[in-house]
Amino acid sequence: MIQMCDKGEGTLLHSLSTHVEPSNILDNIERLLLDFDDVFQEPTTLPPKIVAHDHRIPLVQGTNPINKRPYRYAKQHKDIIDGLIQQYLHSGIIQNNYSSYFNPVVLVGKKYGGWRLCIEYRDLNN
């Protein structure tokens, strides 16, 4: 990067080199990965479930549980939602819930195809 500045009578010229030898960086990264190989491993399972802690959220006095009806979807979207839910249940990402709270799901198209299943939690913020 070269920068020129006017300073009164003369001109200052400054040069800054940002070049770093890539081989040194790669060697350092490789050494770190080898030193801490127990940390940098591809996960093969979901994180373990913690059953010793029961998560509770304190509620404001006098409030009722949010229980919204599910949104209506075309049959093809409903089939996609059902398929995603079954896939998530089977893989352990989600589990059955018997809470008095219910928030509808929203099916969102991904940028490069496919679908993302989201939950609408806007009413919880009111």
Q: What is the mean pLDDT of residues 68-78?
A: 92
Between 43 and 71, the higher pLDDT residue: 71
Quick one: pLDDT band at residue 12, thresholds 50, 70, 90? low
Mean pLDDT value across the chain: 80
Query: Under a CB-based contact definition with an 8 Å cutoff, are residues 11 and 4 in contact?
Result: yes
Averaged pLDDT, 23-37: 84
Q: How does pLDDT run across 91-122, given as a tens digit for each residue?
A: 888 888 888 888 999 999 999 999 999 999 88
List the chain domain ranges: 75-125
* Among 73, 124, 78, residue whose Cα is nearest residue 103: 124
Does this model's pTM top 0.75? My answer is no
Q: What is the pLDDT of residues 78-88, one digit of tens each?
A: 999 999 999 99
Identify the residue whose tokens are 């490789």: 30
Q: Where are the beta strands (DSSP E) in the chain?
A: 2-7, 10-15, 105-109, 115-119
How confident is the model at residue 10, as a pLDDT? 58
